[in-house]
């Protein structure tokens, strides 16, 4: 993959472009199989289908829950950019940039905050969830409450039209649509109201059966090598009633089976039948899954190792992204300022 190829989008006539898609990635740790099967894989697919993709690394968003981990920030940003490139995000076709490289986002967030009712923010379910999940940490800050507002600006400032969301997340976008509508009602039709782009984000279980998550320490990383993958797959829970080979299993409650649905769809029916009949034991089943994961992740891992060797690669990619995204952000902010009366006497 030549990640710094000439910009093919510039040659492409505007009329053939599909809508502008916006997605952010929090640099809170290494990507894992859950991301890869979820928003990252989806982002690659949309890029390959010819959407006008704006993808950003949400370093400011990371502060809302990890302001005490900023010393790791440069390495986390470097890591996620390499992960995204290795997974197939191609800076020649997608605009890949760093959120904090657009200071216009901060100014627009300040302006839109003046018309964003506190009640709207306080009602966002993920806000309450975060407060609850992180009760032991000190995160009830102004920035956390403002998370959906900042997201709204991330979308609007680059005139994002489509935001990929799972069916259960459509409501998350609603507050952004409401803020945009309120702005346009007060100050004129300046901002684009984003629409959800319904996407299939499967629930990927981790080794303990809960949602795969780095913080739960139950994840298979996309950088994991053969030995790590085998060891991690071995540690997965399975149907507790299937103890020996020969015992009938219940695939629907088995995390291994759910991963196979994603990574071995061609063999799924066979697995289902032979698990239920007892002919397929868990050890063999796990070995099969590990083989498949190793096969699928090998090219990503190898590509990532190669990319990490190119000096200045991440910096160049982000610089190119900034050059593409910033003029758009500047133009939107100028329109917002103008609509709100912020031009000098």
Which residues are at the interface with a copy of itself (CB under 8 A)?
A: 59-60, 63-64, 67-68, 70-75, 77-78, 81, 98, 100-101, 103-104, 106-107, 109-111, 113-119, 121, 138, 140-146, 149-150, 186-187, 314-315, 318, 337, 340-345
Q: Write down the least CB distance from residue 140 to a copy of itself, Å.
A: 5
Task: Judge contact between 281 and 273, C-beta under 8 A.
Answer: no
Of residues 335, 243, 229, the one with CA closest to residue 289: 229
Which of 115, 243 has the CB closer to a copy of itself? 115
Q: Write down the least CB distance from residue 69 to a copy of itself, Å.
A: 9
Q: Write down the least CB distance from residue 323 to a copy of itself, Å.
A: 14
Which of 284, 315 has the CB closer to a copy of itself? 315
Which of 187, 245 has the CB closer to a copy of itself? 187
State how far the Cα of 52 lies from the Cα of 56, in Å rounded to an integer. Answer: 13
State how far the Cα of 193 lies from the Cα of 179, in Å rounded to an integer. Answer: 9
State how far the Cα of 287 lies from the Cα of 295, in Å rounded to an integer. Answer: 12
Q: Write down the least CB distance from residue 54 to a copy of itself, Å.
A: 19
What one-character-per-residue DSSP string does 212-264 give? P-GGGT---BTT--HHHHHHHHHT----TT--SBTB---GGG-HHHHHHHHH-
Q: Write down the least CB distance from residue 339 to a copy of itself, Å.
A: 8
Please state whether beta strands 52-57 and 195-198 pair in parallel, antiparallel, or not at all (unpaired).
unpaired
Q: Write down the least CB distance from residue 138 to a copy of itself, Å.
A: 8
Q: Write down the least CB distance from residue 78 to a copy of itself, Å.
A: 4
Of residues 181, 204, 207, 212, the one with CA closest to residue 194: 181
State how far the Cα of 209 lies from the Cα of 144, in Å rounded to an integer. Answer: 29
Which of 78, 272 has the CB closer to a copy of itself? 78
State how far the Cα of 247 lies from the Cα of 279, in Å rounded to an integer. Answer: 8
Q: Write down the least CB distance from residue 114 to a copy of itself, Å.
A: 4
Of residues 332, 315, 330, 301, the one with CA closest to residue 96: 315
Q: Write down the least CB distance from residue 61 to a copy of itself, Å.
A: 10
State how far the Cα of 330 lies from the Cα of 58, in Å rounded to an integer. Answer: 18
67: helix, strand or coil: helix
State how far the Cα of 137 lies from the Cα of 133, in Å rounded to an integer. Answer: 9
Look up residue 264 and give its two tokens: 């071995």
Look up residue 314 and give its two tokens: 């991440």
State the CB neighbour count (10 A cutoff) for residue 301.
18
């Amino acid at each position: 993959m030549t990640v710094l190829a000439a910009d093919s989008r510039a040659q492409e006539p505007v009329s053939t472009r599909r809508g502008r898609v916006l997605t952010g990635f929090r640099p809170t740790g290494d990507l894992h199989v859950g991301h890869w099967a979820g928003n990252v894989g989806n982002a690659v697919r949309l890029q390959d289908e010819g959407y006008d993709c704006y993808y950003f690394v949400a370093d400011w968003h990371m502060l809302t829950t990890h302001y005490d981990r900023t010393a790791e920030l440069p390495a986390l940003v470097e890591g996620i950019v390499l992960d995204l490139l290795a997974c197939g995000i191609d800076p020649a076709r997608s605009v890949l940039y760093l959120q904090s490289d657009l200071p216009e986002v901060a100014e627009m967030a300040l302006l839109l905050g003046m018309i964003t009712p506190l009640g709207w923010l306080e009602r966002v379910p993920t806000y309450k969830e975060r407060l609850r999940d992180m009760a032991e940490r000190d995160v009830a800050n102004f920035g956390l409450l403002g998370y959906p507002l900042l997201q709204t600006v991330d979308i609007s400032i680059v005139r994002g039209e489509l935001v990929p969301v799972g069916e259960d997340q459509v409501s998350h976008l609603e507050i952004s649509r409401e803020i945009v509508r309120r702005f346009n009602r007060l100050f004129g039709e300046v901002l684009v109201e984003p629409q959800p782009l319904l996407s299939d984000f499967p629930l990927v279980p981790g080794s303990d059966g809960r949602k795969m998550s780095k913080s739960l320490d139950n994840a298979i990383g996309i950088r994991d090598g053969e030995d790590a993958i085998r060891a991690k797959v071995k540690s997965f829970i399975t149907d507790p009633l299937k103890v020996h080979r020969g015992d009938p299993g219940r695939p629907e409650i088995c995390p291994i089976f759910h991963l196979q649905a994603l990574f071995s769809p061609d063999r799924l029916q066979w697995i289902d039948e032979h698990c239920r009949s007892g002919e397929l034991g868990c050890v063999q089943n796990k070995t099969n899954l590990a083989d498949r994961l190793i096969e699928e992740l090998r090219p990503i891992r190898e590509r990532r190792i190669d990319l990490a060797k190119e000096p200045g690669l991440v910096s160049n990619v982000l610089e190119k992204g900034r050059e593409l995204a910033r003029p758009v952000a500047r133009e939107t902010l100028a329109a917002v300022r103008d609509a709100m009366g912020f031009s000098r006497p």
